[in-house]
Amino acid sequence: MKRQVPLVLCFVFGIVMILTQFSPHSFSQGVYKEVISWALIIGPFALVLATVTLIQTHTARIRRRTEHWQYSLVVFAGLIIMVLIGIPFGPQNTIFEWLYNNVQLPMDATTFSLLAFFIVSAAYRAFRARTFEASLLLITALIVMMGNVPVGDLIWNTVLFWTPWEDGTSWWRQWILDNPNLSARRGIILGVSLGVISQSIRIILGIERSYLGGGD
Amino acid sequence: MDFWSLIGIWVAAFLTLSIYSVLYRDNPFYRFAEHLFVGVSVGYGIVLSIYQGFIPLAWKPFAAAITGESMSGFIKLIPICIGLLFFARLSPRHTWLIRYPIAILIGFGSGIAIPKVLRANIFEQTHGTIAPFAEIAAGTLSGWDIFEAVLIVVGVICTLTYFFFAVEHRGPVKWLSKVGIAFLMIGFGSAFGNTVMGRVALLIQRVDFLLNDWIGAILTIF
């Protein structure tokens, strides 16, 4: 009951989703669409559970007065304001959109732009051209970066004007992306896909059971 | 510019500068913005999942079934009940019930992945690698195009050889694998270059906001 039923459910849903994709019959397509809508309904409950866990964690921090516990109140403030405005009035509400545009969106973009600093400092340590492979990685990254900005072509046309390529930096960037980069990506995609298929078969057949967790 | 737009620019500028302040060192402004970001993002995610997932897919069909418009909506009770089992996690005695929705979602994901991955990632990618050779046979490709087609095939084979652990990497396999590493390094270098440029574009956008929208708004006051 505790382990066998989930294994059976996993097998049934997995097989149904495989079979329905191979059959163009209207009944099969109806089942396919219905099961997809089921997954989209079940998914948000996991998000709510994750939110409950987040609330439990921060409540514990406040109760125990751990270091920087005051910031947990800020988490609650942001969460409660968004939910209290968003759920009754909807995501098209003016205040909700104002909060999204002036609070969430700027912080989202700023947080990701911070990576520009961290990634460059990490690259400085990692890319020191000690080996052939590291040099290859460094040169490719430089060409791709310089090919993305107009100054790259300006440098090429000034210094390497005698080569057969006009705007050579962006030309080589595009060539790298379309050829050696594409073949490496295809190799990775093929390898990963074979892994995904074999793992999916193992899960459906009940060979891989780690998702059930420990215990009875 | 209306009052709320002006307030919005000041709030966004304050939060932007608060997050950038971590570049100096960890400080209360950064911690405030970081925690606010977590809370607001989770709240936004909940609202979107309710309005784009739960209401149109579950609540509306179920409400239509209750009012007698369409009886098929009652079937939505099944995924709702399965979804509610996630909350069994909160009761230590019934926590095992969470395996039901997880098993269904994992079975669903695995089942949907097999044909889609086969089609999109195996057949299509292999076809894309081999297809140019049909044009070589037709004589429509230039010498440079043929070189590129051969290069891609060699790259794919060598990259796959690097990940092929069923045989020991010795002799010709070792050399193929070494060429595969070179292709992988070019791939990772390209990915790194593109990622850096993407992040720098975001940085430029934020600096542009601070210089033009925020400082520009201050200058218009004077």
Rounded Cα–Cα distance for residues B87 and B84 (Å): 6
Dihedral of the alpha carbons of B163, B165, B167, B168, in degrees to the nearest 10: 90
Rounded Cα–Cα distance for residues B149 and B131 (Å): 9
Predicted TM-score (pTM) of the model is 0.83
> Would you say B222 and A171 are in contact if contact means Cβ atoms under 8 Å apart?
no
- Band of the pLDDT at B185, cuts 50, 70, 90? very high
Shortest distance, CA A161 to any CA of chain B (angstroms): 22
Rounded Cα–Cα distance for residues A75 and A82 (Å): 11
Residue-by-residue DSSP string for A86-141: HHHH-TT-HHHHHHIIIIIHHHHHHHHHHHHHHHHHHHHHH----SHHHHHHHHHH
Non-local CB neighbours of A197 within 8 Å, separated by 6+ positions: B113, B114, B117, B118, B122
**Which residues of chain B neighbour A205 with C-beta distances below 8 Å?**
none
Residues 42-61 on B with a CB inside 8 Å of A are 42-51, 53-54, 57-58
pLDDT tens-place string over residues B32-62: 999 999 999 999 999 999 999 889 988 899 8
Which of the residues B164, B192, B205 would you substitute to probe the A interface, choosing the one with the greatest number of A C-beta atoms within 10 Å?
B192
Q: Is B107 at the interface with chain A, CB within 8 A?
A: yes
Structure token pair of residue B137? 């046979």
> Would you say B58 and B77 are in contact if contact means Cβ atoms under 8 Å apart?
no
pLDDT tens-place string over residues B8-37: 999 999 999 999 999 999 999 999 999 999
Residue B85, pLDDT score:
92
Rounded Cα–Cα distance for residues A98 and B61 (Å): 31
Rounded Cα–Cα distance for residues B157 and B177 (Å): 9
Rounded Cα–Cα distance for residues A135 and A145 (Å): 15
Furthest C-alpha separation in chain B: 75
Q: How many residues are present in chain B? A: 222
| Interface contact flag, B78 A38, Cβ < 8 Å | yes
Shortest distance, CA A185 to any CA of chain B (angstroms): 7
> Would you say A182 and B152 are in contact if contact means Cβ atoms under 8 Å apart?
yes
| Interface contact flag, B15 A107, Cβ < 8 Å | yes
| Interface contact flag, B117 A196, Cβ < 8 Å | yes
pLDDT tops 80 at residue A16: yes
Rounded Cα–Cα distance for residues A44 and A39 (Å): 9
pLDDT tops 70 at residue A216: no
Domain ranges of chain A: 1-89, 90-126
Count Cα neighbours of B173 within 13 Å in the Cβ-side half-sphere. 11
Residue A94, pLDDT score:
94
Count Cα neighbours of A48 within 13 Å in the Cβ-side half-sphere. 20
Shortest distance, CA B29 to any CA of chain A (angstroms): 10
pLDDT tops 90 at residue B218: no
Q: Is B166 at the interface with chain A, CB within 8 A?
A: no
ipTM computed for the complex: 0.83
Structure token pair of residue A133? 């492979």
Q: Which of A20, A74, A10, A52 is nearest to A203 (CA)?
A: A10
**Which residues of chain A neighbour B24 with C-beta distances below 8 Å?**
none
pLDDT tens-place string over residues A17-53: 999 998 888 999 999 998 888 888 888 888 888 999 9
- Band of the pLDDT at A134, cuts 50, 70, 90? confident
Phi, psi of B2 (to 5 degrees): -80, 170
**Which residues of chain B neighbour A13 with C-beta distances below 8 Å?**
103-104, 107-108, 111
**Which residues of chain A neighbour B16 with C-beta distances below 8 Å?**
106-107, 110
Dihedral of the alpha carbons of B155, B160, B164, B170, in degrees to the nearest 10: -10
Rounded Cα–Cα distance for residues A117 and A140 (Å): 20
Q: Is A207 at the interface with chain B, CB within 8 A?
A: no
Residue of chain A nearest B54, judged by CA positions: A41
Q: Is A87 at the interface with chain B, CB within 8 A?
A: yes
